[in-house]
Structure 1
Amino acid sequence: MKTCLTIAGSDSISGAGIQQDLKVFNALGIYGTNVITAVTAQNTSKIYRIKFLDAKFVEQQIDAAMELKPNEVKIGLIGNGKICNAIYKKMKEFNCSPILDTILISTTGFKFYDEGLLNSLKQLSKISKLTTPNLKEAEILSGIEIKNPDDKKKAAEIIGNCVIKDEGEDLIYYNRKFEILKFDKILFKTHGSGCTFSSAITCYLAQNYEMFEAIKKAKIFTYESIKHSIKNQLNLAILNPFFDVEKDVVKENIRQALKILNKYINLDKICPEVGINIAQITNFSEDILDIGEFSGRIFYDGPDKKLKAIGDVEFGGERHLARALSAYMKYSKANNRAVINVKFSEKNLEKFKNLKFEISDFDRNAEPTENKLIEGKTMEFGIENALTKNPKAELIYDKGGFGKEAMIRVFGRDAIEVAEKILKIL
């Protein structure tokens, strides 16, 4: 396994710094080691206090971490000139050319540097493979006020090999070549995006990707981490690098839910003619493309008396049940992130009522004609109407319509929970 070392500060809420670096390493299949330069008391809105460690102690940590001979080194928060000089000394000693994430100003506006650090940082930058400043940091490092693309290029040439991060458009400068990296602008503030980006570059370089490719892959990884982020009350996002891992969890939950159902008899009583499906969305996401369900459907096999799925769990299909779950999450305040559809019958419905389920329904015939002409709108219309009647509904049914089979949909926190709810009526 490849190994990467991060030299950075600690973050109380684990959204940036050492903690985020190690999470990114883990998510990308890298074994991570660490050296701590500072301990912070901070969250997404404020840095309360910061304590920088003794430079000699930082040197000793580096000596210890080098036992595993890291493939790449990433440097984050340094804080002062003494620590920077100590890191520079050790990078030279161990013949390391690090990725340098120049953390000078936090998202909350906290200043992490003094003049002593700036002079030492420029020296460290010269032996680094790549430096990843944001626009303001690039101005500080280069001494150039950046007002236009030409200013940005001049700043990059002064800094050396770097990625100057800007909103919606990064400038890559490497081996005297420029390339512009465009991406969708993020419309909310983030915590740890710089750490995630530089750590991902470090990982991809350790995995032998060429520099430009490593940067592009790291940008995609960072964007996905933002898309699947954890948001606080102020809508500030803490990046989540485990989005791929969460998809594996969702897949396993859905497969396990089917296994749970198949332990019981009378499964023909719950299987509609169009088949069953089970859907679940990854944690923290609200994007329909992050909903997993079987690529085909689940049908009852009479001879074997079992439910059998066609295909495996896939994401991004925007199928019928995915649209139902997406609409439910849009209009419901409940923390339900999974759904299963089963056969409608008055007998099945009565059993759920006797179990004190929160129930609501909608009438397909009440849907406006113009709405029916738009693909996927029926589910949103139906789910919204049902939740208007009963905002707590965990079961939503309809009695069908022209060419549409009547159906019961049961919602729960995950696929396993919805399967267990269905077992109560078998």
Structure 2
Amino acid sequence: MIEVRGLSISHPGGICALDSVDLDLIEGQHVALMGANGSGKTTLIRCLNGLLQPTSGSVLVDGLSTSHVDDLNQIRRRVGMVFQNPDDQLVTTSVEAEVAFGLENCAVPVDLMRQRVDEMLEAFSLERYRHTPPHLLSGGERQRLAIAAAVAMRPVYLLLDEPTALLDPASGEELMRWIERLCLDQGICIVHVTQSPEQASRAQRLLVLRRGSLAHDDKPVVVFADGLSLEEDGICAPFSVRCARSLPLPLDPLPLTIEDLDRQLAHWTEPASLERPSEPCDDVVPQMGIRHVSHTYAEGVPEPIQALDGVEMEIGRGQILAIAGASGSGKTTLVQHLNGLLRPTRGRVELDRIDLTDENRLPLMQLRRRVGLVFQFAEAQLFAETVAEDVAFGPQNVGLAPAKVDEAVATALDAV
């Protein structure tokens, strides 16, 4: 059992991240942890295996204290963790070596180690990448690799910080089934940080943090029934619950899944008149053109990676465009072509009919002013000492006057 008593953490500047949290976590339980951004979710799970030390209070893992240095080695064997950003924990030069890394450090016998590595590569659909360097995987594939390496260690408790955030829906669903099997078959306690109410509804227990305090601790059906309070915590109820609340008849019990909702509505007759959705507007002026674009990573080596193959599309002025695809399908590679971070192996990308590689007609500085890009991992583009300095960096580099920079920063911060 993990016993948390009076756990508080304060960051420099008097910022309270956790405030007197009391909590027990038992083996074999699937626990979801939700809360608004900045509510203390990541801070809490990093305390559970001793990565962070409390300002006050205590954390005991099967009687071992995270505050005692001599206990930390045993605690971290028992409590595995997968970070929100997989790059924070991938350290080797191949997928196979990454899965084996923790096992080697714990002196697992070679035959058993090979067996576990093979099991994890197959279970997480990574077999074809066995000898691939992790940095050549997509974000979702790196996330799967980090989870596989943690599960290979056979922990008693497993902490997952938004493990499906980078995964496509099919891979996310597969991981959720894995979580349920690990709890049921191996008795592992899994603490699953998530922003997805649908995923949280599948847990046995749901914790909700509000500004560092534990606001809810109950079964998901009980927590999600308190709709108004959850909205104050920045949490949305599952789609099925929101649908049920919009109906003119109460549904009991509250449906946590679409399947539950469908069963309860089997004999319900819908109103005769419903508003027809508006038709999409097809009058879009093309502004950016992707012309038969292909991109190959590590071209010329024995195992090149074909990320894009003959992509042809147009993006219109004022258009909102969604790009979907499985992990490793080329989504990030495609968007990084749109502001010149990557150049096509074949084909071209045009902005207002100008090839992005034509720097005489479209200098790189002008291109980057017109086509902004937010990376998958925010840490890859944040580097200043303060939030305001980070926001001001771009406007300053394009030569805006100080007063205009201050105005742009104020407007941007207010918008978000």
What's the TM-score, normalizing by structure 1? 0.28
More relative contact order, 1 or 2 (CA 8 Å, 6+ apart): 2
- Choose 1 or 2 for highest CA Rg: 1
